[in-house]
Amino acid sequence: MGYIKGIPYIILWFSSIFAGYAGFFCPLLPLMFISNKWYRRVTDFLLTFWQMYPSALLEFIHGCDIHVTGDAINADENILLVMNHRTRTDWNYLWPAVSKATIGRNRWMYPTKFVLKDPIRHVPGVGWMMQLGSYLYIKRHWEEDQIKMAKAIDFFTELNTKFSLLIFPEGTDLTPQTKANSDRFADKMGLPHYDHVLHPRTTGFCYLAKKMLEKGTLDAIYDATIVYVDKTPQNEKSLVNGNVPKHICIHFKRYNYGEFNASEQSLQKFLETRWSEKEALLADFQSSDRRTLYDSKMEMRVRPYTRNFLLALIFWTLLPFPVGYFLYTCPTFRYIVIAHTIFLLSVNILSDGFQSVEIGVHESKKRVRRLFVHEHHDN
C-alpha cells in the first residue's frame, strides 16, 4: 500500500530535479562566466524555491507533519548549522523545517548548503544539482578537505552572499554498527556512552567555525535536533515504499558569538556540550509520552507558508512538461542540455566537481583584475 504513495513521490521528486537542471541550470551556465555573484544569486533563488517542493510533497502526499520549535533562522545572516544525523534521510525532512523556520529579506535566496561525502556528487540528478548549488563535498582526507573548506568560505565571503551551511558532526547516521564505533571512541577518550546520538567529530566543525569567524562571516551557530515520533525512516528505501513518518519534531537553538569563540578548545567544548544536552533531551523524550521536544512556549512564531508550498507544488510538478516538450521539439535547447551534461560529467571526472570550477572561475577573474590594475599603475 505504501508504494502507491512512495513511487509517485519519488517520480515527482526526481522529475522536478531533472526539469530544473535542464530548464534552468543548463541555459544559465554562461552567466557564471559573466558574473559569479549573479549566477550564485539566481541559482540560490531556484534552489530555495525548489526546497519547498519536497516539503510540499511530504505534506500533500504523505500527510507528514513536521513540528518546528525554537529560534527562527535569519536569512540576513551567515550561519553554521549542526544537527544530529539520525537516519540517511534526515536531509529530506530538514528542508521543510528550514523553509518554515527561515525569516528575513533574503529568505527567497537562502538555500541550506550541506557538507557531504564526495561520492554523492556523482549521483545523476540530485548530486549534480547539489554541485550546481555550491554544496561542499569532502573526501575525509583532511589535508584536501580543509583546503576545499577554506576556498568555499572565501568564495561565499567575497561574493557577499548570505548562506546557511549544514554539517553533520557525527559524520554518519545512527545504526547499531555506528553506535558500536561511537562507544569504542568514547572508551578511548574516556567519555560516556550515548544511546540516542553518536559522539561528534569536532575537527571539521571547528575548522569551519574558525574560518568563518576569521573572515567575519559567522553571525550565529544553530543547533538542530531531529526526532521521529512514530516511525524512523532509516534509509532511502523508506521513501520508495512510502514508509514515511507522520510526525517529526525539529528544534532549532541559536547561539550568538559570546557563547563560543574562535579557539579550538572553546569550539570543541561548545560542540561536545551541545551533544551531551541533545542526548539528555532525546533520552527524556523517549522515556515520556510527549509528542513534541518542547512545550508550546517554545513554539516558533513563523508565517503560514501554505501558499508558498502550494505554489512550489504546482510549479515544480508542471515544469517537466514544458521542459520535455522543448527538449523534443527544439534542437538548440537539446544541444544546450547535452553540452552542459558533457561539461558536467567531464569536470566530475577531471576535477573535484562543478563547485570547484565555479570557484576557479571566480579566482581567475580576480587574477585578471589584479593584472589589469598592476599594468594600469605601471602605465
Residue-wise pLDDT tens digits, 33-47: 999 999 999 999 999
CB 293 within 8 A of CB 285: yes
* Region for residue 225 given its phi and psi (left: phi exceeds 0; alpha: psi -120 to 50; beta: otherwise): beta
Average pLDDT, the chain: 90
Q: Quick one: pLDDT at residue 53?
A: 92
Separation between Cα atoms, residue 226 and residue 248, nearest integer Å: 7
Instruction: Give residue 289's pLDDT.
Output: 76
Question: Which of 251, 267, 282, 116 has its CA nearest to residue 206?
Answer: 267
Query: Which residues make Cβ contacts (< 8 Å) with residue 368, sequence separation at least 6?
Result: none
8 Å CB contact between 169 and 201: yes
**Cell numbers describing residue 28:** 544559465
Q: What is the Cα Rg of the chain in Å?
A: 21
User: Which residues of the chain have a pLDDT value below 70?
Assistant: 1, 295-305, 373-379
Output the nine-digit C-alpha cell for 63: 500527510
Q: At what angle do helices 306-318 and 36-62 cross, to 10 degrees?
A: 100
Q: Give me the pLDDT at residue 155, please.
A: 95
Handedness of CA 368, 374, 378, 379 (dihedral sign): positive
pLDDT per position as a tens digit, 77-128: 999 999 999 999 998 999 889 988 999 888 899 989 999 999 989 888 888 8
Domain boundaries, the chain: 2-378
Q: In whole angstroms, give the CA distance from residue 379 to residue 377.
A: 5
